[in-house]
Structure 1
Amino acid sequence: MRINVLQHTPNEGPGAIQSWAHDHGHDMYIYHPYQFGNLPTAKETALLVILGGPMSPNDDDEWIGRERVLIKHLLAAHKPIFGACYGAQQIAKTCGAAIKKAPHKEVGWAPVYLKSPAISHLPQQLTALHWHEEMFDIPAGAQLLFSSDLVQNQGFLLNGNVIGLQFHFEPEADNVREIAINDNHYPADHNDLHQTATEIIKHGVPAENKGVMYQLLDFITNNQN
């Protein structure tokens, strides 16, 4: 299976998603549209992964609009899509949902709570990495999948094979360090989780997060027909 990944900043890579791809024998292609402008076609995409980034779906960059065209084609073809943070917002906006300022800026580790039984054997509560101040409305026809204490709309499941998460399950320990040291000013500015970059690194990645990331990817790729 060809997995096409859209990466939007150097310090937010696929993390455990890449491990999942390797463990399953899939081929991964990583695109950097913010830098090079290149995007895959829907035809050559078996699974699309849309990662986070500092931009907003409400920005008017030409490549951001082209990403949504790609998402629209994949939705029409009923191909699986996973989006994290900005990526989830891009999916939601493609589906006509609003992207707006969240009631709280969340940067750091905080619990999220499962809100739907659609995916079996997920824990009722997990600790995820948050790195955002915008949020999505839940797209029409989608289920609310996760909420946090500060922001209700933290995840959605659409059509059985599309998942968008406002937070991050994909980073492993090296990835968290990379995110925090390069974007260390972001947690310090009006952060409602009140965590510093140093504290975020010291927290460590919960052991179950990688397994949950695998579960989510298994679910959407097994429900694509």
Structure 2
Amino acid sequence: MRINVLQHTPNEGPGMIEDWANTHGFDLYVYHPYQFGHLPSAAQTDMLVILGGPMSPNDDLPWISQERQLIKELLTQNKPLFGVCFGAQQITKTLGYPVTKAPAKEVGWAPVYRQTTTVRGIPLKANVLHWHEEMFEIPAHAELLFSSDWVRNQGFVLNHRVIGLQFHLEPRRNNVREMMVNDYPYLIGSVIHQTAQEIVDYPIPRQNRQMLFQLLDYINS
């Protein structure tokens, strides 16, 4: 299986999604449309991962619109889609739903709470990495998957083939360090009130890797 990953900033890569792909023996290709302007075709894609980034789906950039065209084709073909932060927002925007300012800016480690048992084995509560100030709406026929203390719409699952998360499960320890040293000014205004050092020092919960793998397995089953 060929997994195409759309990466939108140097410091937010696939992380443990790559581990999942390697575990299954899948081929993983990483595209950087914000820099090179290239995207895979739907025919080249067995599964699409759309990662986070500092931009908004509301920005008027040609590659953002081109991404949504690819997402639309893959939705029509019922191929697996996994969106993280900006990536999840891109999916909902493609489906015709707005992306708006969230009730609170969340940057740092804080809990999310499971809202459905559709994906089996997901814990009731998980401490995850947040890095956002916008949010998506839950599409029609999708289920609310996670909520946090400040932002209700933290995740959704649609048609057994699409999952979008507003937060991050994928970063390894070094990925968190990379995000922090390059984007630490983004902490200003966060309701979580953690310092850069506190975020870097926070031990990544082992269950986050398990959750990520379960979610990815679900949309590929």
Q: TM-score of the superposition, structure 1-length normalised? A: 0.97
The separation in 1 between residues aligned to 2:5 and 2:131, in whole angstroms, is 19
Residue 115 (structure 2) pairs with residue 115 (structure 1): yes
1:110, distance to aligned residue in structure 2 (A): 0.3
The Cα shift of 1:63 comes to 0.3
| Cα drift, residue 171 of structure 1 | 0.6
Counterparts of 2:130 and 2:15 in 1: how far apart (Å)?
A: 15
Question: Which residue is equivalent to 1:87?
Answer: 87
Cross-structure match for 1:194: 193
Q: Structure 1: which amino acid aligns with 2:162?
A: V
Q: Deviations over 1:45-98 (max 9, x none)?
A: 011000000000000100000000000000000000000000000001001111
Contact kept, 8 Å, 1:57 with 1:93, in 2: the verdict is yes
Structure 1 unmatched ranges of 5 or more = none
| 1:1-225 mapped onto 2 (5 Å cutoff) | 1-187=1-187, 189-222=188-221
| Cα drift, residue 153 of structure 1 | 0.2
Structure 1 ranges of 4+ moved more than 2 A: none
Q: Output the CA distance in 1 between the equivalents of 2:183 and 2:114.
A: 28
**1:70 partner amino acid:** L
Residues 114-159 of structure 1: per-residue CA shift (max 9 Å, x gap) = 0011011110100110000000011111110000000000000011
CA contact (8 A) 1:31 1:38 kept: yes
Inter-partner Cα distance in structure 2 for 1:128 and 1:168: 6
Percent identity, aligned pairs only, is 61
Q: Return the alpha-carbon distance in structure 2 between the equivalents of residues 160 and 109 of structure 1.
A: 28
Task: Measure, in 2, the Cα distance between the counterparts of 1:204 and 1:14.
Answer: 19
- Alignment RMSD (CA, Å): 0.6
Q: State the distance in 2 between where 1:70 and 1:105 align.
A: 29
Q: Secondary structure, in 3 states, of the residue corresponding to 1:89?
A: helix
Contact 1:142/1:156 (8 A) holds in 2: yes
Question: Runs of 5+ in structure 2 lacking a partner?
Answer: none
Count of aligned pairs: 221
The answer to whether the Cα contact below 8 Å between 1:106 and 1:193 also exists between their aligned partners in 2 is yes
Query: Letter of the aligned partner of 1:16 in structure 2?
Result: M
CA distance in 2, matches of 1:185, 1:198: 13
Q: Within 1, Cα distance between the matches of 2:219 and 2:171?
A: 19
Equivalent-residue separation in structure 2 for 1:36 and 1:121 (angstroms): 39
TM-score by length of 2: 0.99
